[in-house]
Amino acid sequence: MSNCNLPFDIDLDYDKQHIWHPYTSMTAPIPCYPVESANGCLISLQSGETLIDGMSSWWACLFGYNVKELNEAATDQLSKMSHIMFGGLTHQPAVDLAKTLVEITPTGLNKVFFSDSGSVAVEVAMKMALQYWQSLGKAKTKFIALKKGYHGDTFAAMSVTDPDGSMHELYQDFVTKNIFTKQPSIAFEQSWQESAMDDLTRLLKDNHTQVAALILEPIVQGAGGMHFYHPNYLKAARALCDEYGVLLIADEIATGFGRTGKLFACEHANISPDILCLGKAITGGYMSFAATLATTQVATTISEGKAGVFMHGPTFMGNALACAVANANLKKLLTTDWQQLVSTLSEQLQNRLNRCKTLSNVNSVRVLGAIGVVELNQAVNMVEIQKQFVDLGVWIRPFGKLIYLMPPYIASEQQINTLCDAIYQVCKNMD
């Protein structure tokens, strides 16, 4: 008889045989480390080790784990209701959250659509763009996206994720064919050249009559390669969309809520999109939740079109428990000197990771806000390198050629040093 119901006794054999983890083979699964608890920036394993978290649980836990204010918000909301259908009903946590999002996001994003994950937020944004043009009687059904971009694992999101060499390459025969422009060529701190817009300008000029929207990750291309590009690209893209009558969708699921040093990455270019996608850190990593914001023009046009409504409605839309926790998380963020926290993290990451540049197997080191990246010359053996990091007392999950950090904002100087030193040590071992 299995003893997996005993406290903190995780049945790893059952997990290995029956649970499909992300991007993992069921016939040759990579090792999973059993977690007993997490608090602050520390992850406690069942085996007794304590790891410093460098990932913020895939970029979601702004203030780490077991946050007092978020725990209290969840407990309080549970005593009232955890969920109620959002069709024909509403509740104060949703109203409060919508009000905050409208106030803090770029100007003009006045309509808020809640959903239950980042990928769905992208699906919603793309459906909004399609229905917008349908309502105007125009057959604009294509999207332009950036090479090396990533927007999620659902079908529409896959269709705007780089089809060449990406994790979604297997599905290219099944997803809608969209148009891809070259990856922004000028890095965040390089000198700007107008020629960087030539490819996007050409594609919009040739295809704007059939393009519903340009979708991009502002400033930081995340899972597609952790590429930091120049704010002027974003500013010029906004101007081109206006010139050619194309909507702009900003996917800030990874970059939102301060991660790049601005509350939203669009602020680096002082632009506002027509549609904005938010997720990940919105609830501080407590539960899956997302929002898609749109301008009044987009929402009104859709609402006055053939259907008269926007045709989407997830079962857990506007989940009361998630809204309550999101409210507590954003209140904590906005009442904390998050700019100083991120600025300090940025300086620490830059100073401590820079010595990796001395290693021959390191191609580059880059930092933006609370994001630190070491790019190697060759892809790493993820299983092997993961174990080395665990042995060094840190949780860092690389992919491809990239070893990166997105620590919680509350990480101490000592914790950041330990994370960075672990990266240096592991890279040195491979050198």
Burial 233-269 (b: 16+ CB within 10 A, else e): bbbbbbebbeebebbbbbbbbbbbbbbbbbbbbbbbb
**Residues present in the chain in total:** 431
Are 409 and 63 within 8 A, CB to CB? yes
How far, in whole angstroms, is CA 167 from its chain's centroid? 16
* CA max distance for the chain: 68
**Does residue 251 have an active-site annotation?**
yes
Give the β-pairing of 402-405 and 371-376.
antiparallel
**In this predicted model, what pLDDT tens digit does every residue of 347-390 receive, in sequence order?**
999 999 999 999 999 999 999 999 999 999 999 999 999 999 99
Band (pLDDT 50/70/90 cuts) for residue 2 is very low
Percent of the chain with pLDDT over 70: 98
For residue 6, pLDDT over 50 is answered with no
Whole-angstrom Cα Rg for the chain: 22
Segment 238-247 shows an average pLDDT of: 98
d(CA 122, CA 217): 11
Rounded to 5 degrees, what angle do the CA atoms 228, 232, 235 make? 115
Of the candidates 141, 131, 143, the one whose C-alpha atom is nearest the C-alpha of residue 302 is 131
Q: Is 260 helix (H, G, I), strand (E, B) or coil?
A: coil
Band (pLDDT 50/70/90 cuts) for residue 171 is confident
**Packing angle between helix 296-303 and helix 118-135, nearest 10 degrees?**
60
Segment 227-243 shows an average pLDDT of: 98
Q: Among the options 140, 262, 280, 332, which is catalytic?
A: 280
Q: Among the options 65, 132, 150, 404, which is catalytic?
A: 150
Are 41 and 56 within 8 A, CB to CB? no
Residues with Cβ within 8 Å of 90's Cβ and at least 6 positions away in sequence, in order, are 318
Segment 241-262 shows an average pLDDT of: 98
In this prediction, residue 354 carries a pLDDT of: 97
**Does residue 96 have an active-site annotation?**
no
**In this predicted model, what pLDDT tens digit does every residue of 173-212 receive, in sequence order?**
899 999 999 999 999 999 999 999 999 999 999 999 999 9
In this prediction, residue 200 carries a pLDDT of: 98
For residue 163, pLDDT over 80 is answered with yes
**In this predicted model, what pLDDT tens digit does every residue of 17-44 receive, in sequence order?**
999 999 899 999 989 999 999 999 999 9
d(CA 240, CA 235): 9
Q: For the chain, first and last CA: distance in Å?
A: 47
Q: Among the options 13, 16, 23, 182, which is catalytic?
A: 23
Burial category of 414 from C-beta neighbours within 10 Å (exposed 0-12, middle 13-18, buried 19 and up): exposed
In this prediction, residue 10 carries a pLDDT of: 86
Of the candidates 240, 246, 278, 267, the one whose C-alpha atom is nearest the C-alpha of residue 62 is 278
Band (pLDDT 50/70/90 cuts) for residue 9 is confident
**Does residue 11 have an active-site annotation?**
no
Average pLDDT value for the chain:
95
For residue 1, pLDDT over 80 is answered with no
Of the candidates 228, 233, 188, 218, the one whose C-alpha atom is nearest the C-alpha of residue 278 is 218
Burial 331-351 (b: 16+ CB within 10 A, else e): ebbeeeebeebbebbbebbee
Q: Is 138 helix (H, G, I), strand (E, B) or coil?
A: coil
Are 275 and 242 within 8 A, CB to CB? no
Are 357 and 365 within 8 A, CB to CB? yes
In this prediction, residue 167 carries a pLDDT of: 72
Which domains occur in the chain, in start order?
A: 33-66+337-430 (3.90.1150.10), 71-334 (3.40.640.10)
DSSP string spanning 261-279? Answer: SSSSGGGGTT---SEEEE-
Token pair 């680096």 in the structure block, residue: 268
How far, in whole angstroms, is CA 98 from its chain's centroid? 20
In this prediction, residue 410 carries a pLDDT of: 98
Q: Quick count: other Cβ atoms within 10 Å of Cβ 8?
A: 10
**In this predicted model, what pLDDT tens digit does every residue of 46-98 receive, in sequence order?**
999 999 999 999 999 999 999 999 999 999 999 999 999 999 999 999 999 99
Q: Among the options 116, 162, 251, 274, which is catalytic?
A: 251
In this prediction, residue 5 carries a pLDDT of: 42
Amino acid identity at 311:
M
d(CA 141, CA 176): 10
**Does residue 233 have an active-site annotation?**
no
Segment 287-313 shows an average pLDDT of: 96
